[in-house]
């Protein structure tokens, strides 16, 4: 039986749906609607005369026949992806689209100094940059890569460190410290109002400090505001609403002007700065590989 273009497309759809066990998640990865995927899978099953997926309201699970097909299909699709990537890698100029996201600070300090030159060099690339303070879901939200704080990256991601280490500080307004006192140890934060930082919609970030003998001391804080937006947590700290935990470079101007004061400095750690990250199971496309190389070249040159 000859393999047609339609067969290849529908087999790739089947592999994506089976891997995610979800039409909606596979649709996000492939950039099409879930209903289109469902229609495509029904057509494949009808032509083969075999049911490949068991569908329910809770999950989409491969049948025994689907599992056997998937075991043989995944290596083949991987080889095809590698062959196409190898072909693209040897072309002189990257072509295609990239969708990236990063917090505002990372866009300003890490991406902006490189991206404009990248687009001038490679005019056949199209790049979309989305400003996002929360940790993104790369595959589900359709991103090729993101830039985020290096110490907070998920384990299943590949990270490319960019730039030097960054130090985190705890800051408060002079008025707040005059009224509530200055904490001398991180554990005293339990008695203070603290501006919380939100890493993801379901993850409230604990403030991290350098403990004894290189250990990490993580403190759960509470207070009147939780946010991932620098303008909000720094503004709240300046207004005397509580202590804020932030990157040193974010607050340098307020410290210099005396609007905020730094506390607990002996415990304030330096962590890996911003990193670019992407899913470990994804092939690194030529456009993204070229951008990473240019970022690394830029920051290596400035670190030297």
Say how many C-beta atoms besides its own lie within 10 A of residue 61's C-beta. Answer: 13
Of the spans 22-36, 122-136, 209-223, which averages the highest pLDDT?
122-136
- Res. 258: pLDDT tops 90: yes
Which is higher by pLDDT, 282 or 256? 256
pLDDT (0 to 100) of residue 112: 92
Better-scored residue on pLDDT, 14 or 172: 172
Phi and psi at 156, nearest 5°, equal: -80, 5
What residues contact 5, with CB distance under 8 A and at least 6 apart? none
Token reading at 45: 């099953």
3-state secondary structure of 209: strand
Structure tokens at 42: 């029904």
- Residue 260 pLDDT exceeds 60: yes
CA distance 71 to 69: 6
Position 195 scores a pLDDT of 94
Residue 24 has pLDDT above 90, yes or no: no
Alpha helices in 1-151 (DSSP H): 5-20, 23-30, 34-48, 64-89, 104-106, 112-121
- What are the tens digits of pLDDT across the range 56-109? 766 788 888 888 888 888 888 878 777 766 665 555 688 889 999 998 888 988
> Is the Cβ–Cβ distance between 55 and 63 less than 8 Å?
no
User: Looking at residues 187-204, what average pLDDT do you find?
Assistant: 80
Instruction: For the beta carbon of residue 303, count every other beta carbon within 10 angstroms.
Output: 8
Cα distance from N-terminal residue to C-terminal residue, the chain: 60
Cα distances (Å, whole numbers) of residue 87 to 82, 84, 96, 278, 286 = 9, 5, 14, 21, 10
Give the rounded percent of residues in the chain with a pLDDT score beyond 90: 33
Question: Quick one: angle between helices 5-20 and 34-48, nearest 10?
Answer: 120
Please provide residue 269's backbone torsions phi and psi, each rounded to the nearest 5 degrees. -95, 165
- Tell me the whole-structure pTM to 2 decimals: 0.54
Tell me the β-bridge partners of 222.
none
- Residue partners of 66: CB distance under 8 A and separation at least 6: 14, 18, 51, 52, 53
Average pLDDT over residues 183-207: 83
Residue 278 DSSP code:
E
Given this model, what pLDDT does residue 85 score?
A: 66
For residue 257, name the pLDDT band (cuts at 50, 70, 90): very high
Burial class (CB in 10 A: 0-12, 13-18, 19+), 88: middle
Cα–Cα nearest to 10, from 64, 50, 57: 50
**Over 60: is that where the pLDDT of 155 sits?**
yes
Which of 137, 143, 142 is CA-nearest to residue 101? 143
The band of 7, judged by pLDDT with boundaries at 50, 70 and 90, is confident
């Amino acid at each position: 039986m000859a393999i047609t273009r339609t067969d290849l497309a529908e087999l790739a759809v089947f592999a994506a749906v089976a891997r995610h066990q979800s039409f909606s998640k596979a649709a996000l990865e492939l950039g099409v609607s879930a209903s289109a995927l469902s229609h495509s899978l029904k057509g494949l099953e009808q032509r083969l005369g075999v049911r490949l997926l068991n569908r329910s309201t809770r999950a989409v699970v491969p049948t025994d026949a689907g599992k056997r097909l998937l075991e043989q299909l995944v290596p083949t699709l991987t080889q095809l992806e590698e062959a196409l990537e190898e072909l693209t890698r040897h072309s002189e100029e990257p072509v295609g689209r990239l969708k990236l996201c990063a917090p505002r600070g990372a866009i300003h300090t890490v991406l902006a100094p490189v991206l404009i030159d990248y687009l001038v060099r490679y005019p056949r690339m199209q790049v979309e940059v989305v400003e996002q303070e929360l940790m993104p879901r790369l595959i589900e939200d359709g991103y090729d890569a993101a830039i985020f704080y290096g110490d907070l990256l998920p384990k299943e991601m590949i990270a490319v460190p960019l730039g030097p280490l960054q130090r985190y500080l705890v800051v408060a307004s002079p008025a707040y410290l005059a009224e509530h006192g200055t904490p001398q140890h991180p554990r005293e934060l339990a008695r203070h109002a603290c501006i919380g930082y939100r890493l993801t919609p379901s993850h409230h970030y604990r403030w991290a400090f350098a403990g004894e003998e290189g250990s990490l001391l993580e403190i759960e804080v509470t207070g009147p505001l939780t946010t991932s937006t620098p303008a909000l947590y720094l503004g709240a700290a300046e207004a005397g609403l509580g202590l804020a935990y932030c990157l040193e470079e974010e607050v340098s101007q307020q410290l210099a002007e005396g609007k905020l004061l730094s506390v607990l400095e002996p415990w304030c750690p330096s962590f890996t700065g911003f990193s670019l990250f992407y899913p470990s199971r994804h092939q690194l496309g030529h456009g993204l590989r070229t951008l990473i190389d240019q970022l690394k070249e830029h920051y290596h040159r400035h670190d030297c």
